[in-house]
Amino acid sequence: MSTGVRRRMGVEERRQQLIGVALDLFSRRSPDEVSIDEIATAAGISRPLVYHYFPGKLSLYQAALRRAAEDLAGRFAEPHEGPLGTRLLRVMRRYFDFVDEHGPGFSALMRGGPAVSAEGAGAKEHVSATNALIDSVRQAAYEQILAHLGVTDASARLELVVRSWISLAESTALLWLDGRRIPRAELELKLVHDFAALAAVSAAYDEDMARLLRTMVKDEPADGPFAELAGRLISLAS
Amino acid sequence: MSTGVRRRMGVEERRQQLIGVALDLFSRRSPDEVSIDEIATAAGISRPLVYHYFPGKLSLYQAALRRAAEDLAGRFAEPHEGPLGTRLLRVMRRYFDFVDEHGPGFSALMRGGPAVSAEGAGAKEHVSATNALIDSVRQAAYEQILAHLGVTDASARLELVVRSWISLAESTALLWLDGRRIPRAELELKLVHDFAALAAVSAAYDEDMARLLRTMVKDEPADGPFAELAGRLISLAS
């Protein structure tokens, strides 16, 4: 603190501080490797005091996960202005920012189910709470995309395109984290293109999807990501 | 048995029979809902005898999962003959056969991490063993696809296309199981098209991928899945 005086925190303030410290540690290494002692040291308090606020590592992990989930869901919010491709590209940039900030923790969580594997009673509840959080983030992403497409009641085919693309974005991010062999900016743009490509494949066989695709690309500028891809694909085909 | 006489099984034969019975039950309902009593009844033996062969439900579930994983990996094997699109379509048919046969068990496993959530000691080992099995199936699929493409040393971009498409196939199958609102034959063909589309997006920005794509489509017949998609996309664009 700038005054150099150690101020006594309120209960809720201390809880929030602990969650922040824990999230930072759970993000930078595989959460299984982070101990309560380490969290206590990083927060500048004693181990028993951590237990005063959270019954155990599992509940602290759950709280950190909830904060991360809210943070990530918030990054999907994007003003309804300008070309769709550009909006999606901005969201992809914030998504990769998040993945970058929380790399090892994100990886452990998405690869191995719950990254803090619970032993003993409560393991089942932990698995379902964790899965429910992951699903809530996917659902937030799904609803944001539908809102940008101006669709309130998605057809089964549109739902498939959007939801399966969301899983493609997850696996692309996980593959990126594993060695970072491709620049992330390339992958952010690739995912925007992948979305257009998957929508086009669906539109090739479904009149509703074709109508939606036409609306999607109608206002795209000639230098936007969708038009650029189309131009490159045409020159590839010839 | 056709003779009506109850033959005494050998140890390994009995184990294999139990695995088969358990796999069948774990496939048809969420594995968490299947009891050892039920497995014993379906196998026509006593509950203590089940425990004689397997220490608990978890080890029986693991054995059933191993058999299912080998079965699924085997379905990716496809003769290296004829157009690539047609080969991939045949593999997709067998993949959806598998998903169809093991629906609820597949869903529980892929959605919730391990479908039999272990309580108590051994939970962690169970999670890693289950994840290793799922990864081995993904790896088998990945290697089969590379072999069909005639590639031994995949570039980072090709690896990304193939592995992220495999996750797309998983999420498409899971979405299909949730209500079966789209005919599976349509999804089998869609996934073949998705593969081509994701490869084309990558090829639009990468010369190595472009070369590979040209090799891929060179021998495709005019009535194959790749040519059909291209034709439809061209008419959609105009």
Q: Is the pLDDT of residue B62 over 70?
A: yes
> Distance (Å, rounded) from C-alpha B163 to C-alpha B142?
7
ipTM entry: 0.91
Is residue A42 a part of any domain in this protein? no
Distance CA A49, CA A182 (A): 44
pLDDT surpasses 60 at B153: yes
Residue A128 falls inside a structural domain: yes
Domain containing residue B217: CATH number: 1.10.357.10
* Per-residue pLDDT, A87: 96
The pLDDT value recorded for residue A121 is 60
Q: Is the pLDDT reported for residue B113 higher than 60?
A: no
Q: Is B161 a residue whose pLDDT tops 70? A: yes
* Mean pLDDT, residues B118-141 taken together: 83
In angstroms, how far is CA B19 from the centroid of its own chain? 18
**Phi-psi map region of A180: left, alpha, beta (phi>0 left; psi -120 to 50 alpha):** left
Q: What value does the mean pLDDT take over residues A167-187?
A: 97
pLDDT category at A5 given cuts 50, 70, 90 is: low
Q: Residue B7 domain-assigned?
A: no
Tokens of B99: 């998903």
Does residue A1 have a pLDDT over 60?
Answer: no
Question: Domain range for residue B214?
Answer: 68-237
Residues B107, B211 contacting (CB under 8 angstroms): no
Please count the structural domains in chain B.
1
What's the confidence (pLDDT) of residue A2?
Answer: 47
pLDDT at res. B5: 55
Which B positions 190-219 lie with beta carbon below 8 A of chain A? 190, 193-194, 197-198, 200-205, 210, 213
Interface of A with B in 112-171 (CB under 8 A): 112-114, 117-121, 123-124, 127-128, 131, 156-157, 159-160, 163-164, 167-168, 170-171
* Residue B141: pLDDT over 50: yes
Task: Establish if A25 belongs to a structural domain.
Answer: no
Coil, strand, or helix at residue B169? Answer: helix
Q: What is the largest CA-CA distance in chain A?
A: 71
Q: Which two tokens stand for residue B12?
A: 């390994």
Distance set, CA A26 to CA A61, A177, B10 (Å): 8, 16, 50
pLDDT above 90 for B2: no
Check: CB of residue B156 under 8 Å from CB of residue B141. no
Higher pLDDT, B84 or A225: B84
How far apart (Å, rounded) are the C-alpha atoms in residues A210 and B83? Answer: 28
Domain annotation covers residue B227: yes
pLDDT averaged over chain B? 90
In angstroms, what is the C-alpha Rg of chain A?
A: 21
Sign of CA dihedral B219, B221, B224, B225: positive
Contact A167 B167 (CB under 8 A): yes
Does residue A199 sit within a domain?
yes
pLDDT of residue B227 exceeding 90: no
Residue A129: inside a domain, yes or no?
A: yes
Does residue B41 lie within any of the structural domains? Answer: no
